[in-house]
Structures are given as structure tokens and as C-alpha cells.
A and B are shown apart, each in its own frame.
Chain A
Amino acid sequence: MTTRLIYFAWVRERIGLPEEDVDLPAGIETVADLLRWLKSRGEGYEHALQYPDVIRVAINQEHVEHREKISGAREIALFPPMTGG
């Protein structure tokens, strides 16, 4: 199944893409698994996800924890802590 990944702020700048569609390999079950896998995809990803703990994640436009399962996610967004308001 294809999953759309969306990146914002410095995560987007470091990866060098605003979004992409990926086919997740077997064994990627949680958000933490996804971050670990993405980090190994190249220099930009490595730079963006150097400290995975600080990365915030939303599945289908709702905040989730890193232990959350990602099965059935259409859209997963990765971004830094928010600074609106």
C-alpha cells in the first residue's frame, strides 16, 4: 500500500521534498519504525531525523505518539515542534 508522507518546516528543508508517496517495506509497524527506516534513506533524511525524539508526527491529520501503529494511514506528516500563535 502506498502512503503519502508530508514534511514541514526544517524537516521539509532538510529532506528536500514537501511530500512523497512511498511503499513501506514489511516490518514497519509503528511511527518509530517509520522514522528509523526513513533516516537510512540518505543524507537529507539522516540530517532531518538525526534526533528522532524531537520529531512530531500526525497520522491522517491528528497528532500521534511514536509508539502508534501506522497500519491504514493514508497520510503521515513529520514536522518539528510547533511554533504558531
Chain B
Amino acid sequence: MSAAVVPTVRIQREDFDVAAEIARLTQGRADIGAVVTFSGLCRDEQGALAALELEHYPGMAEAEISRIAVEAVQRWPLQGLTAIHRHGKIAPGDNIVLVVAASAHRQAAFEAANFLMDYLKSRAPFWKKEHRADGSEGGWVDAKEADTKAAQRWKPSE
């Protein structure tokens, strides 16, 4: 058995490079058979949105995503796990979030990436505010019931 995987979690204003993040997990090793990446991007909402402003709780954002990532590493046999979340003003088409999960076989990587995103959406302290293309302030994005439900499906059954 290899040593316990320590997830990489970064909260940053700047963009990330998906290929570089995959390479960081896979370089120099031959035991990884599957890498799943998820990227979340800013949509323009049919041209109505000029930008999203992402506010976060410094300190807790890192801590909470790390707690979720450690749980993922305990639940699935992973060989690497990275989560990056941006904050600040993000334009349509630009990256917001990245998850990279690496494992020997694909199922663990798929499930861990899915789990991490579902939990991150309902537990990581980030809030999106819309800036509308017409110059008006769009207000805060409402949390979706569907995201809460998506996180609940990973709870172990009683």
C-alpha cells in the first residue's frame, strides 16, 4: 500500500491550468490508471451576465474544502486529489473551480470528483454575486435546493 494521499487545496484569485494540474498528479508515476477532472466555468446567461463576483471566507474556505477532500480520500482508493476554487471577479467563459481525482481504476476517480463537487457546492463558504450586462446590480445568487439534495445522496444510509 502507498502512503495516505494528502489532497491539494488552493483558494486563489488567479486562473488555473488544467493540464498543468493533471501533470502535477501524474508526473513520474506509472500506477495511475484514471484521471477525472471537473471544471466549473462562469456562464453568460444568454448575454445577460457581465461577471460573477465570488466572495469567500478566508481561512474557512480552505479548511472546509480540505475537510471534504480528506473525506473523499478516506472513502475512495485515490492516488491524488486536487481542488482549486477561485474568488474575486470572474468573467463569462472563465474558470471558477477545478477538481482533479486520480486513481488506479476509473470508478473511484469519477465518484470522488462528483462527491467533492456536490459537497463543495453546499458547504464551502463562497457566495456569488451577479453583475448584469446592462450595468445594473444583479444581486446574490440563490442557493439551489437541487444542490443540497445532490450532497445528501452521499450520506451513508442509516
User: Given A8-B127, A9-B55, A63-B123, do A83 and B60 touch, yes or no (CB 8 Å)?
Assistant: no
Q: How far is the CA of A84 from the CA of B141 in the complex (A)?
A: 10
Interface residue from B64, B97, B129, B142 paired with A85 (Cβ < 8 Å): B97
Q: Is B131 an interface residue (CB 8 A)?
A: no
CB distance B57 to A84 under 8 Å?
no
Q: Is B63 an interface residue (CB 8 A)?
A: yes
CB distance A8 to B125 under 8 Å?
yes
CB distance B123 to A61 under 8 Å?
no
User: Given A10-B140, A80-B143, do A85 and B126 touch, yes or no (CB 8 Å)?
Assistant: yes
CB distance B127 to A83 under 8 Å?
yes
Q: Is A6 an interface residue (CB 8 A)?
A: yes
One of B22-30, B69-77, B105-113, B114-122 at the interface = B114-122
In the complex, the number of residue pairs spanning A and B with C-beta atoms less than 8 Å apart equals: 73
Q: How far is the CA of A85 from the CA of B40 in the complex (A)?
A: 7
Residues of B within 8 A of A61 (CB): 57, 59-60, 63-64
Number of A residues with CB within 8 Å of any CB on chain B: 16
User: Given A63-B64, A83-B128, do A8 and B123 touch, yes or no (CB 8 Å)?
Assistant: no
Number of B residues with CB within 8 Å of any CB on chain A: 28
Residues of B within 8 A of A83 (CB): 121, 126-128, 140-143
Q: How far is the CA of A35 from the CA of B73 in the complex (A)?
A: 36
Contact mask B1-38 → A, CB, 8 Å, 1/0?
A: 00000000000000000000000000000000000000
Q: Which A-chain residue is minimally distant from B120 (CB atoms)?
A: A85
- Some 21 contacts from A to B, beta carbons below 8 A apart, are A9-B129, A61-B57, A61-B59, A77-B60, A77-B125, A80-B127, A80-B143, A81-B142, A82-B121, A82-B125, A82-B126, A83-B126, A83-B141, A84-B54, A84-B96, A84-B121, A84-B126, A85-B40, A85-B96, A85-B117, A85-B147
B interface with A by C-beta (< 8 Å) = 40, 54-57, 59-60, 63-64, 85, 96-97, 117, 120-129, 140-143, 147
Can you list the 9 inter-chain pairs with the closest CB atoms, starting with the nearest? A84-B126, A81-B143, A9-B127, A85-B121, A61-B60, A83-B141, A83-B128, A84-B124, A10-B140
